[in-house]
Structure 1
């Protein structure tokens, strides 16, 4: 399979997963539909980002980013409701869950979601046209260069004494999903994959509590939880820092894509 064929096939798989997540959200079959929709968006954006100046890519990436922004508040509310139920605060959870149905309807009927799926339907033909016009002749080299640069950004961020956990969380996601999308251009060992996943999970736990503390300062029924969440956030960040050291050491020993002799996707 050629590299272009592999990219198109990957986008089509993501498109199928996004259609499936949307159908589940419409039917209300489970509580993970929106989460899976957002995971699909992240995978799509990570695949498209290294191709951003190719024909039609920026339009589709922008559409995916818009849906990500649109769905962020509803996903935050879902996660908070689960946390409140875990703590036995069912009335507080119920008040927030009652708001979700309206937010789901807004997402499903949004022009942003419509533009995303229209863009996904049109994109393979646009990408094939770019191939025929000779715009993708050096795609291998482009991917090697951009994904290596993306990994170096993560390594630099990890090495900084004043690193920003928010930025590292974003860079970890980009590198993890890019490695899934382009395994021959972002070569990564099993150990590095596990390290990326562990850091993403730990920083996700910290980020949730960071956001909940902000909400607790505005929402009276959450104020009693602010201190417990602050304490948990400190522990989550400490765990993340330890895992980031492991990730930093692991990435330092990983080969660069352009140093490997590889077959095309």
Structure 2
């Protein structure tokens, strides 16, 4: 199987998963449909990002990004409801749960989702046209070079103590997902994979609490939780800093020549 064949095969597999998630969302069979939709969107965009200088991947990536933006507030609401129930704040949780039905309906019937699925369906044919036109030559090498630049960008960010932690969280996520999308081309050293996941988890927990504190300033019924969210967020950021140090050390060591080690 050629490299182009392998990329198209992965996109076709993701299309099946995305269609399934959309069907589950429409029929309200379970509470994980939207989450699964977003997970598979993320995997799709991770495949497309290194090749989006080409027309067909760029168009599909942009359409997928639109769906991501459409669904982010609804997923944030789902996560908030889970947190409120975990904390025992049932009234606050149920008030927000009543909003979900209309939010789900807005996603299903949106032109954004319909357009994305249409572009996704036509994408393999467009890639084959690009292949016949010779536009996909050296695609494998392009992806490999892009992933190497991505890793270098992460190394540079980790070396700057003042680097914004919100921006660093995104760099970490993208590096991890790029590694998962192209494991054979990824320059990420094996010892760093577990560390990358630990950093993403810690920064993700901190980011959730940071966002909830912002929401508490705007929504009066959440204000009672702000103090505990601030305490939890501070602890998670401290844990993330430890994991970031480990990751930075692992990546710096990998970047050394054998005689420097």
TM-score bucket (shorter structure): over 0.9
- Residue equivalent to 1:115: 115
- Residue equivalent to 1:51: 51
Correspondence 1:142-221 to 2 at 5 A: 142-221=142-221
Provide the aligned C-alpha RMSD in A.
1.4
1:103 to partner: Cα distance: 0.3
- Residue equivalent to 1:39: 39
Does the CA contact (< 8 Å) of 2:189 and 2:251 recur in 1? no
1:250 to partner: Cα distance: 2.1
- Residue equivalent to 1:244: 244
1:187 to partner: Cα distance: 3.7
Deviating more after overlay: 181-190 vs 145-154: 181-190
Distance in 1 of aligned mates of 2:116 and 2:249: 38
* Unmatched tracts of structure 2, length 5 or more: 257-261
1:53 to partner: Cα distance: 1.4
Q: What secondary structure sits across from 1:128 in the alignment?
A: helix
Does the CA contact (< 8 Å) of 1:176 and 1:193 recur in 2? yes
Does the CA contact (< 8 Å) of 1:157 and 1:163 recur in 2? yes
Does the CA contact (< 8 Å) of 2:147 and 2:187 recur in 1? no
1:179 to partner: Cα distance: 1.0
- Spell out, residue by residue over 1:30-49, the C-alpha distance to the aligned partner (whole angstroms, 9 max, x if none): 22111111111111111111
- Residue equivalent to 1:261: none
- Residue equivalent to 1:17: 17
Q: What secondary structure sits across from 2:153 in the alignment?
A: helix
Given the two structures, how large is their TM-score scaled by the length of structure 1?
0.93
Distance in 2 of aligned mates of 1:145 and 1:187: 9
- Spell out, residue by residue over 1:143-201, the C-alpha distance to the aligned partner (whole angstroms, 9 max, x if none): 12111111111111111111111111111111111111111221434432211111111
- Residue equivalent to 2:259: none
1:80 has 2:77 as partner: no
* Unmatched tracts of structure 1, length 5 or more: 257-265
1:224 to partner: Cα distance: 1.0
In structure 2, relative to structure 1, the CA distance for the partners of 1:239 and 1:103 (3 Å cut) is same
Distance in 2 of aligned mates of 1:85 and 1:194: 30
Does the CA contact (< 8 Å) of 1:10 and 1:181 recur in 2? no
List structure 1 runs of 4+ shifted beyond 6 angstroms. Answer: none
- Spell out, residue by residue over 1:74-97, the C-alpha distance to the aligned partner (whole angstroms, 9 max, x if none): 111100100100111111100001
Distance in 1 of aligned mates of 2:199 and 2:240: 6
Report which structure shows greater RCO (CA 8 Å, sep ≥6). 1
Aligned length: 256
1:71 has 2:92 as partner: no
Distance in 2 of aligned mates of 1:254 and 1:185: 16
- Residue equivalent to 2:60: 60
Distance in 2 of aligned mates of 1:190 and 1:16: 30
Distance in 2 of aligned mates of 1:201 and 1:12: 29
